[in-house]
Structure 1
Amino acid sequence: MLKLGHKKDHGVDHKCTIRLLDDSEVLECEFQSYHKGRYLLDFVFNKLNLVETDYFALRYVDQNKQRHWLDPNKNILRQIKRYPTDLSPILFCFRVKFYPGDPVRLQEEVTRYQLFLQLRRDLLHGRLYCSQSDAAMLAAYIVQAEIGDFDPAKHYGNYISDFKILLKQTPKLEERVMELHPTLKNYTPLMAETCFLKKASALDTYGVDPHPVKDHRGSQLYLGLNHTGVLTFQGSRKTHHFRWPDVQKLNYEGKMFIVHLSFAEISHLALCDDVSTCLLCC
């Protein structure tokens, strides 16, 4: 006797949109109810010809505007239960989750380019915080990569204003970028992007996704993690840097995020706005 499968045994098609790092390109994908996050990630990796995949992940925003990383080893639908029901198709964003310590040593050019796009986003949105002089140099590398050598016949007036590169892009800063751009003559796009990666990866805020917290005195700080350790900032000033060899463990109790250090049995506390922020830090 032939036993027909129950309807529930078959996957139901769900549509999603995946926004890539340059924002101008999106991928449309369908997945079924039994698929795990790895299915969507592999779909993107294949489209982009990415081999060095460990640095990347998919992110989505729930109905409370809280960002979450999609776990590749868990069922997709179970993870997005809090996704706004009025939004269809489901939107995921392809992002760098783990920033390599030395991006120039990445093997594949396509991997370096995706990291370059991510760092451009970080610079534009203020996450890659730096001095005005560093910001101008980074912007000049971007301009050189985009339009090549300065040409007075083409590039006149404030041509930098056509680019949206920096969070606080003032005329004075644009003027400085225009001074730097001609100094990069003969830099190919690859050379300019490589210089950008070198400079960006040397900054304290490289790879840091800052979360607002308060210290034990109630002072407002921003806390983030990167390949070097756990960092806190007060405004633009780095206040603590707990390097990974010195960190024994990270955990949270309610809204309290705790960094346990290996020397002298010291712990440092930070009060998060909510439990979700603590979870993101952990």
Structure 2
Amino acid sequence: MLSRFVSGSVRNLEREYSCTVRLLDDSEYTCTIQRDAKGQYLFDLICHHLNLLEKDYFGIRYVDPDKQRHWLELTRSIVKQMKSQHPFTMCLRVKFYPPDPAALKEEITRYLVFLQIKRDLYHGRLLCKTSDAALLAAHILQAEIGNYDPGKHPEGYSSKFQFFPKHSEKLERRISDIHKTELIGQAPETSERNFLQKAQMLETYGVDPHPCKDVSGNPAFLAFTPFGFVVLQGNKRVHFLKWNEVTKLKFEGKTFHVYANQREMTLTYFAPTPEACKHLWKCGVENQAFYKLEKSSQVRTVSSSNLFFKGSRFRYSGRVAKEVMEQSARIKREPPEIHRAGLVPSRSCPSITHGPRLTSVPRTRRRAVHISIMEGLESLRDSAHSTPVRSVSHGEAFVPRSRSQAADTGERTAVIADEAYGPSDSVPPTPVADHGVEPPAATSRLINGAPRSIEEEESEAGTTTRGDKGGDSGRPREGALAEVEQVNKFVLSVLRLLLVTVGLLFVLLLLLIVLTESDLDVAFLRDIRRTPEFEQFHSEYFCPLRRWCACQLRWVGSLLVSK
């Protein structure tokens, strides 16, 4: 009895997994889940912990051992989705950006969206003009440190904080001036609402860029926003399709297709890996269903392929934006208490210009991100890109230079300056590197288009970065492996075609036998048999063929009997 009890307890322990979810304010929520627990269970636990009711805008993101990001599917088992060894580590992030974040029903929801957009601004995903950048940063200051106080905030206090990947002293002075004069007396919730109203007017609001290449091999970034599908290339937004203009999204291997009813246009792009392309396709299917449909009952299962190619089937599970807004309007409760996190010391490396800064995103190592952005821009500018990056003198809109060049000249590289600096004039995160080129060890890696440091990837994935087995010895074989993979796909496609053809012939043969040999007295069969064409076919072709087959069978039978 005791041994049975101990063995049962051990089995129960094996069925439990520790799971840590990093929240938007960088606090962590840790729980234990069962082996068969679905994503919905964990998501409901986190929302209950946050006292969050408008939860449809959020999702749980995780990184697999191959450094590919995924959204946790709520209808599937958590353990089956997570390829890394436990304990599992994930992040709560905004999955669907509200079209009008300032109009959200509850303040707790607005605060969480505020934290997400502040992250986007800090990681370089939300781009804006200098005047807009100064106002956004001033609202962050007002929301998180309160009114300007000469006793607490000495001269140059705004330079202690970092709101963007990089910015100039002039911008810092402008941030301080707005905070000192224009925002006095604003409560934190008021500053957060004003911040959201300003952010949602920017062209890159809600952009989570996915790195790809176009048919000419030029780097491009695809993104899905509350308003439609966006393609960023170089320093321009080359395509924008509203959701009602997008008719179909499809992928095959690394190839991603977007079909639009606008002049029957088809856009084709190539993702770095098949897994990244599948993730891109899933994000597009979910975003289109969420923002475009009127009711969740209209959601249909979507297939990624045609008849002869193996593909994926996926169905968005959840409510759509219109239903979420209607449900939010019916919320009636006392506003939950919000524990706001102020600006805290950064663990990032010292800034090149201003020394240590403070930031509200302490876990990200910004130094690696800076190097990645600058080196990526250099490679993009030197390539034969259709929309090359403009190189201007110091003090103008944007100067893409490497750290070594900046150190040699002694000048400071400014990301945001006084000239017009809008999303269409800015460069998205680091482009996709060409295959076969090993990035420098100090640079950050790309996870789905967003520049991220190696340390941040490890913390989100919950695993330690391991060296590739065999070093670089396997790299020359990548081309050969790709060719073998293409040949295998072609052979599989031919086999599927043959199987389908044989199946159709078998069905036709069965139908022919039913028409000629069966005694079924059905109206439509009787009508077919009475047609002159069928009578001629039966007498001139089918009957001789049947006699020949019978003779052959008798001959084979006689041979078997004689033996």
TM-score (norm. length: structure 2): 0.47
The equivalent residue for 1:207 is 206
The equivalent residue for 1:62 is 64
1:9, CA displacement in angstroms? 8.5
Deviates more, 1:234-243 or 1:88-97: 234-243
1:22, CA displacement in angstroms? 1.1
Distance 1:66 1:240 in 2: 25
Q: Which one-letter code corresponds to 2:217 in the other structure?
A: G
Counterpart check, 1:139 vs 2:142: no
1:163, CA displacement in angstroms? 2.0
Counterpart check, 1:93 vs 2:106: no
Match of 2:39 among 37, 60, 63: 37
1:89, CA displacement in angstroms? 2.3
Q: Is 1:129–1:236's contact at 8 Å kept on the other side of the alignment?
A: no
Deviates more, 1:267-276 or 1:105-114: 267-276
Counterpart of 2:55 in 1: which secondary structure? coil
Q: Is 1:38–1:72's contact at 8 Å kept on the other side of the alignment?
A: yes
Which has a greater percent of strand?
1
Which has a greater percent of helix?
2
Counterpart of 1:185 in 2: which secondary structure? coil
1:268, CA displacement in angstroms? 0.9
1:208, CA displacement in angstroms? 1.0
Distance 2:69 2:216 in 1: 28
1:274, CA displacement in angstroms? 1.6
Q: Which runs of 4+ in 1 moved over 6 A?
A: none
Q: Give 1 or 2 for the bigger CA radius of gyration.
A: 2
Q: Is 2:82–2:88's contact at 8 Å kept on the other side of the alignment?
A: no
The equivalent residue for 2:18 is 15
The equivalent residue for 1:249 is 248
Distance 1:213 1:165 in 2: 28
Distance 1:276 1:122 in 2: 24
1:217, CA displacement in angstroms? 2.4
Deviates more, 1:8-17 or 1:260-269: 8-17
Q: Is 1:18–1:93's contact at 8 Å kept on the other side of the alignment?
A: yes
| Alignment: residue pair count | 274
Higher RCO (C-alpha 8 Å, min separation 6): 2
Q: Which one-letter code corresponds to 2:174 in the other structure?
A: R
The equivalent residue for 1:165 is 163
Unpaired stretches in structure 1, ≥5 consecutive residues:
none
1:264, CA displacement in angstroms? 2.6
1:169, CA displacement in angstroms? 3.3
Counterpart check, 1:50 vs 2:78: no
Distance 1:235 1:158 in 2: 35
TM-score (norm. length: structure 1): 0.91
Unpaired stretches in structure 2, ≥5 consecutive residues:
282-563
Q: 1:180-217 CA deviation, whole Å, 9 max, x = no partner?
A: 21211111111110011011111111111101112222
Distance 2:35 2:87 in 1: 14
Distance 1:97 1:264 in 2: 31
The equivalent residue for 2:220 is 221
Counterpart check, 1:270 vs 2:272: no
Q: Which one-letter code corresponds to 1:177 in the other structure?
A: I
Match of 1:174 among 172, 175, 192: 172
